[in-house]
Structure 1
Amino acid sequence: MFAQIISHTPLWVWALLAFLVYRGVLASVDREATLKKLSIIPLVMLALSWEGISSHFGITPLTLACWLLPAGIAASLSWLFFRKDRVTAHPDRGVVFQRGSWLPLMLMMGIFLTKYTVGVLLAMHPELVRDPVFTAVVCSLYGIFNGMFIGRLSRIVSLYRNAQPSAILYNGQLNG
C-alpha cells in the first residue's frame, strides 16, 4: 500500500518537498537576510495551510476556531520563548543576522506532512472530510505550526524595529 501511495503522488509534491528541505537546510546556518526575505517561508506555509483547510473543509466557524486558538497560543509561546541572543538587527543596513536553526525545517516538514497525510487519508476515506474531530485535529495542527512561524517572525520584526542603528546621523554626518 505504501508503494501505491508514493506512486500516486504527483511530481510537484516531491518538488515542493525538495524546495522546503533546501530552505530548511539554508535556515540551519548563520546568515543575514532582510525582513522581506525572512517572511517568505512563513507566508508560503500560511498559504499552504489555508489552502489545505479551505479546499478540504471550507472556511467555517469550526475551522477558524480550530486554527485561530492554537495559532494564537503557539505564536504567543514562540514570541515568549524566542531567544533574542540568536538575532542581531542591523536596521542601518536593512538586514537581520540570524543564527542557524533547524526549527524552520521542522515546522515546514510538520505542515508538509500534515498536508500530505490529510491528502492520503481523504483519498482513502473521503468521509473523513465531514468528521468534525478530524477537521479539528487537522486545523489545530496547521494552527500550531503557523503560530510558531508567526511568533518567531513577529519577534524578529520587533527586535529589528527596536534596534538602534550602529551609527547615528548627526547634522548629516555619521557619528560613531
Structure 2
Amino acid sequence: MQQILAHTPAWVFGLLLGLIVLGLQQARNRQVKLWLAYLLPSGMVILSLIGVTSNFGVQLVTISLWMAGLCAVALLGNHLLPVKNLRYFAESNRFYIPGSWIPLLVILAIFFTKYVVAVLYALGNPITVHTAFMPVLCVVYGGFSGYFVARALCLVRASRTGNELLPAN
C-alpha cells in the first residue's frame, strides 16, 4: 500500500483535498446562485463520464451502460430521495439548499473508484480484463452521476414552482 501511495502523483492528493472541501460545503445549509447550484451536478457527471471514457474509450456500449446507470439512479433518487426543504427565490435567482452529507460520500465514492481502477490498471491486475469489469464499472460510474442528476432534477422542480419543494416531516 505504501508503494501505491508513494507512486501516486501529488496532484491526486490535491484533487482529493479539493473534493473533500467541496463535499463538506454540501453538508451545510446554504444559499446558492442558480448557475452555481447546477455546477456541482454538471461537474460530477463530467468527472464520471471521463472515468468511463478514459478507461474504456468512447464506444456505444460503454456510453450506453453508463447512461443506463445514470438514468436508473436518477429516476429512483428523484422519486425516493428528493431534496427536502429545498427553496428557490426567483427575486434573487437563488436556491436555499439544506445541508447533506450524502454528496460528500458520493464525491468520495467517485474519486476512490477512479483511483482504485487506475491502480488496478497500473499493476496490471487481471481483473481489468475480466468480461464483467467494464460493464459493471460503466454502470457504477453512471449510477454515481445519476445521484447528482436526481439532485439537479429537484433544483429544476423547485425553480419551476418557486416554492418549497417538500416540507419537513
Would you say same fold, with TM above 0.5? yes
Q: Percent identity?
A: 31
* Structure 2 alignment gaps of length 5 or more: 164-169
TM-aligned CA distance change 1:95 to 1:157, over 3 Å: same
**Structure 1 alignment gaps of length 5 or more:** 165-176
Structure 2: which amino acid aligns with 1:113? F
User: Could you tell me whether the CA contact under 8 Å between 2:88 and 2:158 is conserved in 1?
Assistant: yes
Alignment of 1:125 onto 2:109: no
Residue equivalent to 1:76: 75
Q: Does 1:100 align with 2:99?
A: yes
Offset of 1:88 from its aligned partner?
1.1
Secondary structure of the equivalent of 2:76? helix
Counterpart residue number, 2:166: none
Q: Which has the higher contact order (CA 8 A, sep 6+)?
A: 2
Is residue 128–residue 134 contact of structure 1 (8 Å, CA) maintained in 2?
yes
Map residues 1-176 of structure 1 onto 2, 5 A cutoff: 2-125=1-124, 128-163=127-162
Distance 2:110 2:69 in 1: 14
User: What is the aligned length?
Assistant: 163
Q: Structure 2: how far apart are the matches of 1:97 and 1:156?
A: 10
Q: Which amino acid aligns with 2:20?
A: V
Cα separation, partners in 2 of 1:65 and 1:95, compared to 1, 3 Å? same
Cα RMSD of the aligned pairs, angstroms, is 1.6
Matches of 1:84 and 1:41 in 2, distance apart? 15
Aligned equivalents of 1:80, 1:138: Cα separation in 2: 24
Q: CA deviation at 1:82?
A: 3.5
CA contact (8 A) 1:17 1:112 kept: yes
Q: What TM-score do you get using the length of structure 2 for normalisation? A: 0.89
Residues 60-85 of structure 1 show CA distances to partners (whole Å, capped at 9, x for unaligned) of: 23212221111101000111123453
